[in-house]
Structure 1
């Protein structure tokens, strides 16, 4: 198994967290894609993948989809050789670049035929290396940036602010600084992220806590939970079961320590 994260060009970093490569020659299941805050554009250059969420779908070889998990856990099952490349967009990045409201994409498996230039997928398939593929995607995304109009930079700032804070007053602080009504704030927030601010904050807090535990190969979660704003153990366990469909002791095992979407080698 080979995995790799590649950081985007500096100009793209406000919109994209990283490019993600996954390569394996067996049919072991890939890690579950948990409810999150970003958007994944997934290119499949291996054998077909079976994607299970609210309904089952199939991602054919040399095809691409957009995945926006918010309240659904997504499972991906290989049928043979796995070779994927994905663009992991930041929370406000996808809507900013493409103008598609995430309220229309949340918990859906969406085609990309209306987003990709007609010849881009062909060029990606014919590229000889992963780096060449990433370079092509960066060139396309940089061109997409030129088309951006009327960016709501204040709301992008607000989304990042809430994402990186773990206390209960962060949303109120942001709303006070934006000086907009509750209705306007929530309407715009949902367009950018697909969910209301409170649920987004809850998801971001859990993501950060889980990433910390997986990176440390640790099942000692109490201190990490408190550091991320959870007020007691039952509070953290409740969220853990909601997002992973397992308890911390069931999920924080050697398999998930070595097989997760935070793995970088």
Structure 2
């Protein structure tokens, strides 16, 4: 998904399963007090990403869902998770040449076409059909994180659980159990924020948390703060979540 955003203040980004590829058309963002490059990724897994304010923020963002970026690069996820790697870090000279070409275009539509062309070429160069079965595994885990058994997923791959866990981590840079926890955390927080539900415990229980203590511990593990400190008015007003758009039949 490609999008263009201009804002004076952007909300924090919570840990999740996706990866954002950003191209700044003006000043790059300052994220966690780190000045980013004009083209870079954001891949938060273990903590909130705080975006510092800028008077002029304009960027194009490409969203890669649940490990899909591995089809566009040879860099393993173990080196991408929780990083702000630049386009040049990821694609080397090819990435540098692409950014120079991208900078020559003046309109957003032309920039988007340039980005699409580059990423399609990357997909052609790096996509490995043998890895597609892991997309099915990740999709199943994402959609059924509360009910699916990791041992059942391992059986689907005809691997022992230990082999399954090792191969999963080589694909996504994280264990299946950890990604299952992140999916649940992300789904719960999204529901709470979209429903503006200050009484969040019932939503947490509906998403598979055992009790309030379990949710608080998990929230602190991923967000590095208490849910009572995060679920406040400003975060209900400004966040990156949106209601799902279902395709028309």
TM-score under structure 1 length normalisation: 0.80
For 2:41, the equivalent position in structure 1 comes to 66
- The 3 A distance-change label for structure 1 pair 43 and 155 is same
Q: Which residue pairs with 2:59 in the alignment?
A: 84
Q: Is the 8 A contact 1:124 1:136 kept in 2?
A: yes
Q: For residue 165 of structure 2, what is the aligned residue in structure 1?
A: 186
- 2:179 counterpart of 1:200: yes
Structure 2 gaps, min length 5 = 244-249
Aligned partners of 2:26 and 2:59 also within 8 Å: yes
Tell me which protein shows more helix as a share of its residues.
2
Answer yes or no: is 1:167 the counterpart of 2:146: yes
The residue that corresponds to 1:145 in the other structure is: 123
Q: 2:108 aligns with which of 130, 136, 145?
A: 130
State the match for 2:247 in structure 1. Answer: none
Structure 1 CA distance, aligned partners of 2:171 and 2:4?
A: 26
Partner residue, 1:3: none
Cα distance in 1 for residues equivalent to 2:129 and 2:163: 17
Whole-Å separation in 1 of the counterparts to 2:55 and 2:215:
37
Q: Does 1:44 align with 2:38?
A: no
Q: Distance in 1 between matches of 2:76 and 2:157?
A: 21
- In structure 1, how many angstroms separate the alpha carbons of the residues matched to 2:143 and 2:69? 18
Match of 1:210 in 2: 189
- Residue 119 (structure 1) shift: 4.0
Q: Is the alpha carbon distance of 1:186 and 1:85 closer, same or farther for their aligned partners in structure 2, counting shifts above 3 Å?
A: same
Of 24, 34, 38 in structure 2, the residue corresponding to residue 57 of structure 1 is 34
2:246 corresponding residue in structure 1: none
Aligned residue in 2 for 1:240: 219
Within the candidate set 112, 125, 128, 2:87 is matched to 112
Q: Which runs of 5+ in 1 are unaligned?
A: 1-17
Q: CA deviation at 1:227?
A: 2.1
Contact 1:68–1:105 (CA under 8 A) maintained in structure 2 = yes
Which secondary structure state, in structure 2, belongs to the residue aligned with residue 81 of structure 1? coil
What is the RMSD computed on CA atoms of the aligned residues? 2.2
Q: Is the 8 A contact 2:146 2:184 kept in 1?
A: no
Greater alpha carbon shift after TM alignment, 204-213 vs 143-152: 143-152
Deviations 1:23-51 (A, max 9, x none): 12x3x3x2222222122212122224222
Distance 1:68-1:49 versus aligned 2 partners, 3 A rule: same
